[in-house]
Structure 1
Amino acid sequence: MTKYLVVEVSLVLILGVSRSSTNKENSPNTITEESAVSETVETSPKPTKAVASVGQKLYSENGCLVCHQLNTKLVGPSIKDIAAAYSGNKAGLIAYLKGEGEAIVDPSQAALMQPQIAITKALPADELEAMVDYILSIK
């Protein structure tokens, strides 16, 4: 249990640092989390530009990238695994991110996602939908 608490506290701290860094000006030589995401997407199957520009930005800004990489399982499942599990079930993913649905990708790690649910639950409906469209566009 202590191990999970340490992981959760670490994630909250990382999220706080990543969210505060989006408010600072970046020097030309600084690599941001957002640019790292863009580089990842460029080497992978591309979602539509409209979805990528809004949904990918929201995904990055809200700290999702800290735990969910495109192809690699980190703390949570990869974006591709999430997209595959919720394929054809956009409403299910939206419900989960609103705290109204059950985890279907890796239920054993659902407790680790709870601090993030508070963030996704507070998003306006159009932003949450754009983020979900981005996730589901990854094949």
Structure 2
Amino acid sequence: MYYVNREQIAERLAAVPAAAEGMSQLAEAWDGTLLQGLAQERALHIAIEIVTDVGSCLIDGFMMRDASSYEDIIDITGAEGVFPAEIRERLLELVKLRKPLVQDYYKWNRSELHPLTPILPHVLTVFRESVEGYLSRELF
């Protein structure tokens, strides 16, 4: 029997709409201001945390093999069929941004729209729906 903390997963997935909407608004109105740059950084960081937190909960709850990195969280959950293969590469690109955003923030170019920002609203929505579907299938 698995112990999957569905409440913790649901709380994190509930942050997807705000992160996705924020990224959509940034992409549509981008003019490179400092405020937009800082907002984009935070939106990307939130997206990373959602994906890795949810992935870690799934790995722990379903007793999947241990992850050794953020990329590994994506690889493991992707291999288990948590989300469709077509979003795997985008999720990997996303989690690879954690170090630049969190540790090398002083080097981050705040004046440019990151290429993932306009794409992530769709990716995050698919991720959320896929995780919810996976939980429904596995825990019926």
- What's the TM-score, normalizing by structure 2? 0.31
Larger Rg: 2
Which structure ranks higher in relative contact order (CA pairs < 8 Å, sequence separation ≥ 6)? 2
- What's the TM-score, normalizing by structure 1? 0.31
Higher fraction of helix: 2
